Structure 1
Amino acid sequence: MKNEGSLLSIKRIYYRGKLNSCNYTCSYCPFGKKSHLIATTQDEQAWNRFITAIEQWQGGPLQLFIIPYGEALIHRYYRKGIIHLAALPQVAGISCQTNLSFSADEWLDEFPATPALISKIKIWASFHPEMTSVESFVRRLHTLYNAGIQVCAGAVGNPMAKSVLSDLRNALLPDIYLFINAMQGLKSPLSVEDIRFFTQLDNLFEYDLKNASAQWTICSGGRSSCFIDWKGDIFACPRSQVKIGNLYQNQILDPLLPCRRKVCDCYIAFSNLTNHPLHRIMGAGAFWRIPNKPFITSVFFDVDGTLTDAQGRVSESYAHALRYIAQFVPLYLATSLSMQQARRKLGKTLFSLFEGGVFADGGLLVYGGQSQCMPVELLLDINEESAKITAHSYEGQVYKYSMLVYDKEERINILSRLKEKPYQVFYKPPLITVIHKDVDKRKGVLHICKALAFPLDQVLIVGNSLKDWEMMSVVSHSCAVMNAEPLLKERARYTLNPDRLAAFFRFRE
């Protein structure tokens, strides 16, 4: 790495001042026990000293993250300093952890609302149900978000607060990522239901729940990122206690000193691991805990097991997500179901949100007012008493049919006859399903994308089965749902449920 061993190799800095008090008194937080009236003179002096050092920075662009022990943004000197730092050309971005107890409107009035400046500022907002209401928290967060500031929201995964956390998720815009931190100090482990609940709110909850083994050889801490305290002492990350330099004494770091920790037990620590799945899912936004949000111009969804649950139903949260996304980009289906079966599964209202798709594994394509049907002929002379035939057609052409055949000898006879036909045959006794031999979902997706000029690097495909991988692999953004087959989750770039997609992808310019 260029400049390794030098402070100039650093690209990302976490800063924590001398502040160790808060205006909130949350029962689970040690800093809530200290009055926010504690003198802040030393903290302000340390903060100004840090700002001066960044003003004189000679290295490359910096990303800065303020992670106070307490609430910083109720103090004007922090708000003023963040604005000043954001305006510096050497600062690429700056964020701060906050409980949002300050006035968002007043802060916005304190600085020139230029798009270039606002785009540099991020907010990590923590919701504390003991101290504020969902309505008040969401109103302040949305004020910042609507002003153009990138935000994320988070809360501690307290099993006693599940109802209010559900209210929080429902009140937040779908575009805003809500993370759940695993609660420390619980008298008993989280139940399976608790874990399921928190994972539904935050599809990345498992990473915070399990943490990660410390792996010094693949850690960016002390190499391209570091933690700096109020004295200027430098550490690999906030969890490390091994000092590797000082911001105010020299430009030399000793990144070869291992942090000596066995576990990366907080988000900031394990997000420094360069091979962590967070980087694949969140991109460059992993530093801020704000997904990077690649731009998407169309979305293809599988149906069974992807949009529907084990009972074949679409949850209201999924339906709401589909309605939301459909406002901005065209939605398509990519399913083994026929068009009629998909309409019946989703219901007329939800089905109408889709502008077409790949049906019957590609036997029928519907898109942009056009269609392509690959017909199959029904077998003649089938004993209707021993075989129930269901044909699926479009504009008079049969593109898929199935036969429910209970007699074993009759099934063998039918399968033998089908071998002579140019068909794909799917056999799951007593059901035999037939489609054209030259179709599959991958070809169907590629055909529609080419016909409608959808760039493959702006297409998102969501599925649940390893069979979906063939079509998912042709686009840049493949997403397995949370209950997908394990092998698909290993291959897909993302593992997210449909109702969380808006927090990880950008569906509008």
Structure 2
Amino acid sequence: MANEGSLFSVRRIYYRGKLNSCNYACSYCPFGKKSHPASTMQDKQAWNRFITAIEQWEGESLQLFIIPYGEALIHRYYREGIMRLAALPQVAGISCQTNLSFPADEWLDELQATPSLRGKIKVWASFHPEMTSVERFVRQLHILHNVGIQVCAGAVGNPSAKKLLADLRNALLPDIYLFINAMQGLKSPLSDEDIRFFTQLDNLFEYDLRNAPAQWEKCSGGRSACFIDWKGDIFACPRSKVKIGNFYQSQKLDTSLSCQRKVCDCYIAFSNLTNHPLHSIMGKGTFWRIPDKPLITAVFFDVDGTLTDAQGKVPENYANVLHYMAQSVPLYLATSLSVEQARRKLGKTLFSLFKGGAFADGGLLLYDGRNRCLSVELLPDVNGESAKITAHSYEGQVYKYSMLVYEKEQRENILSRLKAKPYQVFYKPPLITVVHKEAGKKKGVLHICKVLAFPLEQVLIVGNSQKDWEMMSAVSHSCAVMNSEPFLKDHARYTLNPDRLPTFFRFRK
């Protein structure tokens, strides 16, 4: 292992060449329609020099990221250079930012001789609505994605382009991450509605919106990561102006020099902070902005407030993704609702996607054609004109009672007498719910996982309330939906809505 301060301790390199021209002419970009043949020639020479240095690399296995000022992949020498680098054993992966205007089919033909390289190559694709259509951009991206090249898609969060960005998200495959960059230079700040909209498209939008304070002691920049320009000068990251070495002149980095910035104001900068939440969400893919998807072999969902909205309905985008997920992974429910209540809430078609689950807070378990019912007996004399009692049963066994009791005195009397019984009682006026004392969502989920041999490190549980935390804390992958109670968002590993789950997890039956 190389010592800190040595160039060979670096494991992640951002590279930017001399190129500063683009074939697009976006109104907000300074590089549109610039053409500099001389600088392009210098850029090619600098690019080849960089490749030669990486071919001679003697340090740690490298991840490389090309971040040009302008569009690089329209130039054949960049595509050839990426393939040359990807073929090196010391290069673990390589990515490039691009507007996807280059001929994707032609590049795949160039890669045909060495198809194994596709697993090393990644693409960070930026959508520019002024210059291309949703259909063309998505077609290009899907061509790459479908042959095994890892991709992500991004766009600037321009409020005037919201309709197009929604169309883009709907057109992309659910397992492709779409990120939204906060638009700089707006005459007025984003409205609350704008922020909600962009957060629905990209559940991680808040991190880009607020950026992060610079923390030199928590930064990997200048240590295990660095930015190298066309001259070979080395900086902690692309936002830093403090030179700490030169790639071609010395093997030493001056790690005593901080970047002197107060704010990490772009993704590449704040993703270098080792304590940033992105790392627990995206894993090793944080560098590429492509989630490193952990394998999931079973998913459990709460229903109320998790799969349903404020009106008690399942949004269409949630329903679509549940259909998509059900093709690859078994889905289960973990809910306080009875089977009948869950079926009514979800509808017959959606409910049929689930293989069973823990109902009535674990009072009834259904899985693999089997069931476990913890039956309860109600007090014989709680009936009355002011009490509406519903018994929820399965194959003749009552596992839950729901009582609507409108008179306060009668409610208090019933609650007092229920305390002496072997029940769990949940009370939210005027509703009293009774289940067996041994019932519990956590116990139910763990029982199903044990019987069906689901490894807990491959189980995902999605909920929205503090009450869900007990079961969620029992598995490796806990996910709070975006409108969850603050406690759950603070404790869950992920905060993602159901329609974004395929972006961050790999599902397999």
TM-score by length of 2: 0.98
Amino acid at match of 1:273: L
Structure 1 portions without partners, runs of 5+: none
- Structure 1 residues 159 and 113 mapped into 2: Cα distance closer, same or farther (>3 Å)? farther
Aligned to 1:353: 353
- Structure 1 residues 113 and 161 mapped into 2: Cα distance closer, same or farther (>3 Å)? farther
Amino acid at match of 2:415: L
Aligned to 1:328: 328
Amino acid at match of 1:89: P
Say if 1:355 and 1:368, in contact at 8 Å, map to a contact too.
Answer: yes
What CA RMSD, in Å, does the superposition of the two structures yield over aligned residues? 1.2
Aligned to 1:210: 210
| DSSP-derived class of the 2:190 partner | coil
Aligned to 1:242: 242
Say if 1:115 and 1:148, in contact at 8 Å, map to a contact too.
Answer: no
Aligned length: 509
Amino acid at match of 2:243: K
Say if 1:23 and 1:36, in contact at 8 Å, map to a contact too.
Answer: no
Aligned to 2:16: 16
1:66 corresponds to 2:63:
no
Say if 1:97 and 1:123, in contact at 8 Å, map to a contact too.
Answer: yes
Say if 2:64 and 2:94, in contact at 8 Å, map to a contact too.
Answer: yes
Say if 1:21 and 1:38, in contact at 8 Å, map to a contact too.
Answer: no
Post-superposition shift, 1:407?
Answer: 2.0
Aligned to 1:120: 120
- Structure 1 residues 111 and 429 mapped into 2: Cα distance closer, same or farther (>3 Å)? closer
Post-superposition shift, 1:417?
Answer: 1.8
Aligned to 1:45: 45
CA distance in 1, matches of 2:283, 2:36: 36
Q: Deviations over 1:122-167 (max 9, x none)?
A: 0000000100111111111000001100000000001010001111
Aligned to 1:318: 318
After superposition, residues 127-138 of structure 1 pair within 5 angstroms as: 127-138=127-138
Aligned to 1:223: 223
Post-superposition shift, 1:408?
Answer: 2.3
Say if 1:376 and 1:398, in contact at 8 Å, map to a contact too.
Answer: yes
Amino acid at match of 2:234: I
Aligned to 1:261: 261
Aligned to 1:107: 107
Aligned to 2:151: 151
| DSSP-derived class of the 2:72 partner | coil
Aligned to 1:364: 364
Say if 1:22 and 1:36, in contact at 8 Å, map to a contact too.
Answer: no
After superposition, residues 355-394 of structure 1 pair within 5 angstroms as: 355-394=355-394
| DSSP-derived class of the 2:398 partner | strand
Say if 1:426 and 1:434, in contact at 8 Å, map to a contact too.
Answer: yes
Aligned to 1:181: 181
| DSSP-derived class of the 1:123 partner | strand
Post-superposition shift, 1:39?
Answer: 4.5
1:404 corresponds to 2:390:
no
After superposition, residues 287-326 of structure 1 pair within 5 angstroms as: 287-326=287-326
Post-superposition shift, 1:321?
Answer: 0.7
CA distance in 2, matches of 1:245, 1:36: 28
CA distance in 2, matches of 1:498, 1:19: 41
Aligned to 2:476: 476
Amino acid at match of 2:390: T
Amino acid at match of 1:378: L
CA distance in 2, matches of 1:354, 1:45: 58
CA distance in 1, matches of 2:87, 2:347: 52
Amino acid at match of 1:19: L
TM-score by length of 1: 0.98
| DSSP-derived class of the 2:469 partner | helix
CA distance in 2, matches of 1:171, 1:35: 33
Amino acid at match of 1:42: Q
CA distance in 1, matches of 2:174, 2:139: 14
Say if 2:482 and 2:497, in contact at 8 Å, map to a contact too.
Answer: yes
Amino acid at match of 2:293: K
Post-superposition shift, 1:111?
Answer: 2.1
Identity within the alignment, %: 82
Say if 2:358 and 2:366, in contact at 8 Å, map to a contact too.
Answer: yes
Say if 2:18 and 2:39, in contact at 8 Å, map to a contact too.
Answer: no
Amino acid at match of 1:327: Q
